[in-house]
Amino acid sequence: MHTNTEQESEAYEDHLERSHTQWDRWSNWYALSESDFEPMREDAIDRLELRPGDRVLDIGCGPGVNLERLHADVGEQGEVVAVDYSPAMAAKARARVDDHGWTNVDIRRADATTVDFDEPFDAAIASLSMSVMPDVRAAVENVHRLLEPGEPFVVFDIRPIQSGPGRLANPLLWRFLRWYANWNPNGNVLESLSAVFEECTVLETYTAGTTYTALCRTAES
């Protein structure tokens, strides 16, 4: 397991505070982009292959855009737990839960790298959230720890342009994403997933490879 140096810890706290501020600010406007990514989100949730009664974790849930589908898939006998570090985003997600009257959806305002639960999960998903976390590796390790053996973690996220002349635009893309979402250019999500999970595959790529869906799985017991 990776251990942070004092300098890394300070950078982590700075990034976390910036994320708090930026995502609180964007919480009122986030819904404007929901429809743009909806087909990709739906595909990512499909990959979980949820069953009625499952317990599923949504990491970096934002205002709760995945909740309706996750709740429908696990049914009333299942449970959805969603986590976000931004107080404003978590509040939006709670309001969505209240509006629907769901009794088996729990919203937590917490850090993905340290959040803990008494019972393990049957599946986990992260939609456009891992790449903005200040310590991607620690977040991935924590999700791995929280999953039952042999169960899936599906990540839908963004990355720089991977090949061709378009790579010249990456510095501009990084600046925009850092301004818009406090994106962490040093946090290679796929690298961390492959290092921590026993099985990890990129299933789909979109928009010139800058968005992708990856399926990872813990080892069977």
Which residues does residue 56 pair with via DSSP β-bridges, in sequence order?
80, 123
Six token digits for residue 88? 């404003």
CA distances from 14 to 11, 19, 84, 127, 162 (A): 5, 9, 17, 23, 28
Residue 31 pLDDT: 56
Cβ atoms 163, 186 nearer than 8 A: no
Residue 140 pLDDT: 97
Burial class (CB in 10 A: 0-12, 13-18, 19+), 61: buried
CA angle 28–31–34, rounded 5-degree value: 155
Residue 27 pLDDT: 47
DSSP helix/strand/coil, 104: coil
Alpha-carbon gap, residue 105 to 90, rounded angstroms:
12
Chunked mean pLDDT (size 10), the chain, 221 residues: 57 52 51 69 97 98 95 98 93 96 98 96 96 91 98 90 60 59 68 96 81 94 75
Six token digits for residue 183? 């994106």
Residue 4 pLDDT: 57
Number of H helices, E strands in the chain: 7, 7
What the chain holds in terms of domains, given with CATH numbers, is 6-217 (3.40.50.150)
DSSP one-letter code for 151: -
Kind of pairing between the strands at 152-158 and 79-84: unpaired
Closest-CA residue to 62 (of 173, 217, 182): 182
Residue 45 pLDDT: 98
- Ranges of H-type helices in the chain: 6-26, 34-48, 67-74, 87-100, 136-146, 170-181, 189-196
Six token digits for residue 40? 């990709």
